């Protein structure tokens, strides 16, 4: 790829320093992905300017007009403290004719609301857990078809935020208590899903119209105490000390029933298209002991940090990290030139 001018959009408090020398893993973790993307692009000759963004649309507009970037490399997960507003920001970039990386606004809006995403998937007959919504200000009413165990999540928060071991419930009182906890602490509506016990598998997908899947990846918690539900809680995702305590490991999925990886790849591509996604995404699956596959969630614009699951699975597929970033940019440029 020829050298590009790239405007890297990051959270205002995630602007990485020039160097990480002498910093601990804990200090680096919040903005390591931003640092890795900037360094990976710079090392391959691309001119990168980082812009920390909170809620100032004028700052983005001014930077685009001043820099005239070939591509806006979007790493924002929220704008003005709302995840769904990122879609509107990208829509504004489309109005300016400015190419950007990652998923388009429609795909992001499907992803921003877990219930909306699940309804779209079910309409396309993609296997998902059953669910029901538990809005704020209303009494919890569990449908008879929804048998325990169930898992209670924030309907609009992502990255496992708010998910704890207590999120898995086994009776109506615990269900009501956990829904109230989501309402009170996350300040969002709740979504209640059937809890699927089994292996947690991830599959990366890249592309706009033509799609490529990466090798199937697995989350393992080798030291999880007996009797605790197996799930990726907020601590599993973000607490380094807790990760060590429960023996967190991720890597290529092995020992799968024959044809399972191919089946999951087909489901991942169908879901990607059903949700009108583009750019790149990570699909989260559960595989039961009897071989049934459920798509739990699709995560467009997933973590691009070097050494994390998406980048590692791409490397197994033969795509080294700098090349992966260039593929992300190329897909963004091609999306901007698609027929209207």
Is pLDDT above 60 for 224?
Answer: yes
At residue 16 the predicted structure's pLDDT band, cuts being 50, 70 and 90, is very high
- SS3 of the chain: the string is CCCCEEEEEEEHHHCCCCCCCCCCHHHHHHHHHHHHHHHHHHHCCCEEEEEEECCCHHHHHHHHHHHCCCEEEECCCCECCECCHHHHHHHHHHHHCCCECCCCHHHHHHHHCHHHHHHHHHHCCCCCCCEEEECCCCCCCCCCCCCCCEEEEECCCCCCCCCCHHHEECCHHHHHHHHHHHHHHHCCCEEEEECCCCEEEEEEEEECCCEEECCCEEEEECCCCCCCCCCCCHHHHHCHHHHHHCCEEEEECCCCCCCHHHHHHHHHHHHHHHCCCCEEEEEEEEECCCCCEEEEEEEECCCCCCCCHHHHHHHHCCCCHHHHHHHHHHHHHHHHCCCC
Answer whether 0.85 is exceeded by the pTM.
Answer: yes
Per-residue pLDDT tens digits for 158-206: 888 889 999 999 999 999 999 999 999 999 999 999 999 999 999 999 9
pLDDT at 162: 87
**Fold that domain 5-102 belongs to in CATH:** Rossmann fold (3.40.50)
**Fold that domain 197-335 belongs to in CATH:** D-amino Acid Aminotransferase; Chain A, domain 1 (3.30.470)
At residue 339 the predicted structure's pLDDT band, cuts being 50, 70 and 90, is low
The full set of domain ranges for the chain reads 5-102, 128-194, 197-335
Per-residue pLDDT tens digits for 53-86: 999 999 999 999 999 999 999 999 999 999 999 9
Domain 128-194: which CATH number of 3.30.420.130, 3.40.630.180, 3.30.1490.20, 3.90.1150.10: 3.30.1490.20
Is pLDDT above 80 for 336?
Answer: no
Above pLDDT 90, what percent of the chain? Answer: 93
Compute the mean pLDDT over every residue in the chain, rounded to the nearest whole number: 95
Per-residue pLDDT tens digits for 239-254: 889 999 999 999 999 9
């Amino acid at each position: 790829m020829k050298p590009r001018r790239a405007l890297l959009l990051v959270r205002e408090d995630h602007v990485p320093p020039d160097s990480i020398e002498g910093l601990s893993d804990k200090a680096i973790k919040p903005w390591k992905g931003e640092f890795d993307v900037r360094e990976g692009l710079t090392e391959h000759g691309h001119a990168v300017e980082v812009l920390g963004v909170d809620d100032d649309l004028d700052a983005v507009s001014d930077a685009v007009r001043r820099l005239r970037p070939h591509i806006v490399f979007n790493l924002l997960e929220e704008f003005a403290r709302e995840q769904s507003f990122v879609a509107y920001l990208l829509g504004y970039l489309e109005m300016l004719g400015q190419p950007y990386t990652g998923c388009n606004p429609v795909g992001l809006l499907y992803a921003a609301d877990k219930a909306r995403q699940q309804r779209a998937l079910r309409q396309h007959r993609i296997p998902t857990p059953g669910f029901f919504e538990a809005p704020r200000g209303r009494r919890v009413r569990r449908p008879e078809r929804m048998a325990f165990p169930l898992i209670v999540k924030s309907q609009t928060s992502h990255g496992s935020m708010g998910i704890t071991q207590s999120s898995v419930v086994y009776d109506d009182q615990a269900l009501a208590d956990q829904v109230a906890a989501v309402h009170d602490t996350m300040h969002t509506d709740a979504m209640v899903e059937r809890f699927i016990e089994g292996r947690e598998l991830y599959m990366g997908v890249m592309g706009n119209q033509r799609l490529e899947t990466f090798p199937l990846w697995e989350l393992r918690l080798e030291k999880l105490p007996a009797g605790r539900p197996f799930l990726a809680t907020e601590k599993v995702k973000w607490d380094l000390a807790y990760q060590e305590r429960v023996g967190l490991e991720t890597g290529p999925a092995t020992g799968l029933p024959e044809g399972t990886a191919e089946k999951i790849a087909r489901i991942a591509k169908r879901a990607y298209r059903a949700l009108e996604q583009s750019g790149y995404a990570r699909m989260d699956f559960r595989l039961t002991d009897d071989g049934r596959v459920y798509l739990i969630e699709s995560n467009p614009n997933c973590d691009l940090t070097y050494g994390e699951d998406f980048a590692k699975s791409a490397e197994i597929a033969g795509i080294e990290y700098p090349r992966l970033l260039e593929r992300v940019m190329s897909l963004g440029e091609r999306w901007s030139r698609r027929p209207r």
